[in-house]
Amino acid sequence: MPIRPKLALVGTGGTIAATTQSNTGLTDYDITQGVHTLLQAVPGINELADLECHQVFNVDSRAMGSLMLLELSHKLNELLARPDINGAVVTHGTDTLEESAFFLHLTLKTDKPVVMVAAMRPASALSADGPLNLYQAVQVACSSLAQDQGVLVLLNDQIHSARFLSKQHTTLTSAFGSPDAGPLGLVAGGQPRFMMRSLLPHTHSSLFDVRSCTACLKFRSFTITPIRWRNCIATQHKAVCKALWWRQPATAA
Ligand code: ASP
């Protein structure tokens, strides 16, 4: 990893990109900020990495349809295949973060660091958590220890594997956990520190390859037609992803 790596910063929306009328209002927000704007609230972030911004969507993550997930996977596969890109950071809403993260964990064909990041408080809030989360996500993506770990998720100083991530609270900045495993690490003393690695297959060692998929995903005997795919509402994503996982032998996903 170069001293100042080049990372793709991919924006999809979420509370991290949202603003409210007052800085004590935490819920009635609109998604107004692109990734370029988010960077302005994070002093020193451009010293960590050369960040190439890509705004793929700017939506509440409840609107993340399955075709959008596929598009996000395509975009990241394309960016991560570039020799000049050392890793990626993806901003996302928290409501379907675990589903999108798990989908990308199984479908990105890379061993480069990929870190998803979100916030529980809007960008306009007093003590917004987004700027520090974004700074730490970039720090993690710059770490050689994040190499070949699949998709990682950074919130509240903790580094989670997408495989185990779960949103467990509606409002707390500590809303996310990894109930079956615990976080893989944390950012402490200004540095990412890993305590564990996930040994289960992911990214380049996952059997799932959606790079040539357009509207229809077919994994062995399990086919999702475009209509069913489109009709999947956000809360069903996890079930779909888990179904895809469980349809495979234990070593396959
Ligand atoms: N509704 C928001 C979203 O998922 C919640 C958040 O980002 O915290 O986009």
List Cβ<8 Å contacts ≥24 apart for 209-215: 209/107, 209/109, 210/70, 210/73, 210/74, 210/107, 211/74, 211/77, 211/109, 213/70, 214/70, 215/67
15 CA: nearest ligand 1 atom: 7
**pLDDT for residue 230:** 37
d(CA 112, CA 248): 25
User: Where is average pLDDT lowest: 64-68, 123-127, 230-234?
Assistant: 230-234
User: Residue 193: enclosing H or E segment and its boundaries?
Assistant: strand 191-194
- CA 154 / ligand 1 centre spacing (Å): 15
pLDDT category at 249 given cuts 50, 70, 90 is very low
pLDDT at position 127 is 96
Tell me which of 177 and 225 has the higher pLDDT: 177
60 Cα nearest atom in ligand 1: 9
pLDDT of residue 215: 60
129 lines ligand 1 (CB under 6 A): no
> How would residue 246 be classed by pLDDT, with cut points 50, 70 and 90?
very low
pLDDT at 170: 95
Could you read off the pLDDT of 82-111 as tens digits, one per residue?
999 999 999 999 999 999 999 999 999 999
Token look-up 């994070």 returns 42
In 10 A of CB 58, how many CB atoms?
17
For 58-75, the pLDDT digits (tens) are 999 999 888 899 999 999
The per-residue pLDDT for 193 is 98
> Ligand 1 in contact with 94 (CB < 6 A)?
yes
Whether the CB of 100 sits within 6 Å of ligand 1? no
- How much is the pTM? 0.87
pLDDT of residue 175: 97
pLDDT at position 25, please?
82
